Amino acid sequence: MFTLGDLQRIYRLEKESAKLHEMPEDFHMKVETLLENPQAKEYEVEIKELYKKILNLRKNKILKYCMGPKPETPLENETTKDRMLRERILQDQEKYFEDTECPDDWKTPAHEKAEKKEAVFGKTDVAGEEYVKVKFMQDMPEMMGADGVKYGPFGEGMVERLPAANANILLKKNIAEKAR
C-alpha cells in the first residue's frame, strides 16, 4: 500500500536529484488511491501539497531539459505523463518559432550590435536610444543594460557609457554621477 511516507520519500529523492528520479508508472493513481483512503483524510492537505511539489519539480526539470541540445531524446526515468509534457513543450516551441518571423538583425548577438552602435553612432544607437557616461561612486556587480548588453562589474571611480534608462536609475539612487 502506498503511504504518506512513500510520498515524502519520493519528494525528498526528487528534490535532491538534478535528474528525474525513478517514479512508478502508476504514481498518479497511487496518490489518488491514497487520497481516497479514510485513514489518510487527516493528511489530505499535506498529501496534495507534496504531490504538487513533486509535479512542479519534475515539470521544471523537463522544461530545463527541453532548452538543452537534444530535447527530443527521452529523459532517463521519464514516465508516460513526463513524456507527454516534454512532447507538448517541444510542439509549442516549434509552433512558436513557426509563427514568429525574426528580422535578420536579431540573429546578430547583442554584444556585436552594441559594438557597432558605439563605433558608428556614438551617443545614440540605431533605435535612437541615448547613452550616458556615468562615474560610479561605489562598487556594483554586473548588470543587464536596457539594450540587452551585459555591463560591469564596476568599481568605485570607474567611468562607463550606459543606456540612458540604466544611467538614470543609477543617478537617482546615487550609485553613480554624470561623467564629463
Tell me: pLDDT of 26 over 90: yes
pLDDT at 84: 93
Dihedrals phi, psi of 160, to nearest 5 degrees: -145, 145
Kindly state the cell numbers that stand for 113.
Answer: 550590435
pTM of the model: 0.54
Dig out the grid coordinates for 6 from the structure.
512513500
C-alpha cell at 116: 557597432
What pLDDT sits at residue 116?
47
Fold topology of 4-99: Methane Monooxygenase Hydroxylase; Chain G, domain 1 (1.20.58)
Confidence band, pLDDT 50/70/90 cuts, at residue 20: very high
**What does the alpha-carbon distance between residue 138 and residue 161 come to, in Å, rounded to a whole number?**
16
Pick the CATH number of 107-178 from 3.40.5.50, 3.40.228.10, 1.10.3720.10, 1.20.1440.120: 3.40.5.50
